[in-house]
Amino acid sequence: MSNRRLGKSGLYVFPIGLGCRTLGYKSAKEEEAIAIVQRAVELGTNFVDTANIYRKGKSEEIVGKAINSMRNKVVLATKGSIVRTPEGLPTQDLRPESVRQAVKDSLKRLQTDYIDLYQIHYPDPLTPFKETAEVLKELVGTGTIKNVGVSNFSSHELEEWTNLIETPTVQLPYNFLQRELYTKLLPVCQKHDVSMMIYTPLLMGLMSGKLTGNETFAENDERSTIPPSLVKTSISIANQLKPLADKYNKTVAQVIVNFILNQPQVGCVLVGASSLSQVEENVGAAKWTMQAGDRKKIEKTVHGTEESLDKQYFTQQVAETRLNYAGNNVATIEMGLKLVVPHAVKKGDRIKISWNGEYLGCAEES
């Protein structure tokens, strides 16, 4: 499979990228994590995606060490916009001085003097897009960053943003229980030639086809945040795909990733890995073709599933509200992140937030 061009940029990437969010965390030793990155590149993946907040910078440091001797073989992508509050909570900050500092810090951890794709991790509702776009243009001008991408933008945010600066990519979650954002972003991406960089394709490994359903997840395991009924559904979907995987002599993970990377507008699917064998399996998801009839069968299986993460929400207390530059009401929620909410929402309210980070309404009093 040939490399794909991202938007109108000069970046050409293998359709499966290595996601480094859990790097050095699941693969406990640093040497193992470095070996995972190097093996991925050796197998033909040239896209490596990390972020300044992954493991408080450790992921970028590991990537830096791993690619140091093969920098020109890698399309290096990282993300910024999340900073820590004095209380240690993550929050968005896209003010120009913050962006300049974040890029400088990332370059140092990555041991490089340029980043191929610098992505805004989450939009910051307190900073006008124009201000952030200006500083990113300045950094492109100096050559420190080569291209600008975004992540976790809604369709209207992407529409507004692409009018300000050339943006070849948007990162978004997409898996068989989470497809709403993809559907909403698709027309904007097609209109502005923005490539989609898909994350969590295997729903944190729940759809890898390797779980039995008898697993219990520790409280600090992120999979424990997925409602048990959806864990069951994920495993059931994976099991239903097993005969199809057997037909091609592939694994369920390879079938799912192959299906997703052939969806319209997808530039690259980012898959995390906690071992060398997972990297090998995941990269192998690109190197074969599924028949159209089998793709339809998968669609049918997925559409037959009533449940979806898109219908789920979590609740958070509003820690603070303030008006932004455009007169919108911005709430800082107890976990630190900020989002635009209706003017009636005030400090102390409990609100419902979708898995895509959208305000859904006030939570009922218990």
Ligand X SMILES: NC(=O)c1ccc[n+]([C@@H]2O[C@H](COP(=O)([O-])OP(=O)(O)OC[C@H]3O[C@@H](n4cnc5c(N)ncnc54)[C@H](OP(=O)(O)O)[C@@H]3O)[C@@H](O)[C@H]2O)c1
| Residues of the shown chain interacting with ligand X in the complex, contacts defined by CB under 6 A | 19-22, 26, 49, 121, 151-152, 171, 199-205, 208, 210, 253, 270-274, 278, 281-282
Angle separating helix axes 292-303 and 252-261, nearest 10 degrees: 100
DSSP 35-95: HHHHHHHHTT--EEE--TTGGGGHHHHHHHHHHGGGGGG-EEEEEE-EEE-TTS-EEE---
Selecting among 25, 54, 122, 325, the annotated active-site residue is 54
Provide the minimum distance between the beta carbon of 187 and ligand X in the complex, in angstroms, as a whole number: 21
Provide the minimum distance between the beta carbon of 152 and ligand X in the complex, in angstroms, as a whole number: 5
Provide the minimum distance between the beta carbon of 48 and ligand X in the complex, in angstroms, as a whole number: 9
Quote the CA–CA distance of 288 and 254 in Å, as a whole number.
10
Rg from Cα positions in the chain: 20
Q: How many C-beta atoms surround the C-beta of residue 131 within 10 A? A: 15
Which residue, 188 or 257, has its beta carbon nearer to ligand X? Answer: 257
Quote the CA–CA distance of 344 and 54 in Å, as a whole number.
34
User: Is residue 53 within 8 Å of 90, Cβ to Cβ?
Assistant: yes
Which residue, 107 or 270, has its beta carbon nearer to ligand X? Answer: 270
What is the number of the residue whose Cβ is closest to ligand X?
A: 19
Provide the minimum distance between the beta carbon of 282 and ligand X in the complex, in angstroms, as a whole number: 5
Provide the minimum distance between the beta carbon of 243 and ligand X in the complex, in angstroms, as a whole number: 18
Quote the CA–CA distance of 13 and 196 in Å, as a whole number.
12
- Is 313 annotated in the active site? no
DSSP state of 291: -
User: Is residue 149 within 8 Å of 77, Cβ to Cβ?
Assistant: yes
Q: Which residues are catalytic?
A: 54
